[in-house]
Amino acid sequence: MRLLIEDTLCLVVDVQERLIPAMPEETLVARILKLIDGLKVLGVPFLISEQYPKGLGPTLGPILERLPEILPWPKVAFSCCDEPHLLESLLASGRKNIVVCGVEAHVCVQQTVIDLVALGFQPVVAADAVASRDPADVTRSLDRMRAEGALITGIESLLFELLRAAGTERFKAISKLVK
């Protein structure tokens, strides 16, 4: 199965002010921003979730700055699919491939991915753009998500698969991002 731009949407899960400092990976935010920037070059639409923003704070400023037209959906359920308005937006998008990035891999990301599969979507987890407080939880959750039917890939591989060919302005822009 090849990923196509017109069938793809990106879901940024809970990249929030009070969650990110607990993640051990210093480059996580930079990698998520690289993914967002690349998908924007390709014209892929976005949705953003926020887990209990009253307690965990808002989505990080750099993400909101890159996606100023996207209002994050607040939620208290771990799975994004259990937030009715967010699920409605996913269904209304008409896109079947849902690129997923964010935190925590073993809780909100994993439960969202499992529900996306059950709903007939094809989740595509950007493995280098997800994290948990304990790196071992990431490994276990990627294994579980793969077993449940998610595609597991990396940012660069995903961007070039969607791009499909070199020699365009979009290729030049994506190449700059991944260097």
| 5-178: CATH topology | Rossmann fold (3.40.50)
Average pLDDT, integer, range 116-134:
98
- Sheet of 73-75: strands edge to edge? 73-75, 46-51, 8-13, 97-103, 122-131, 151-153
Q: Tens digits of per-residue pLDDT, 60-74?
A: 999 999 999 999 999
pLDDT number for residue 151: 98
- Residues labelled as active-site residues: 14, 75, 108
pLDDT band, residue 25 (cuts 50/70/90): confident
Percent of the chain with pLDDT over 70: 100
Domain limits, the chain: 5-178
Q: How many CA atoms lie within 13 A of 146 on its CB side?
A: 10
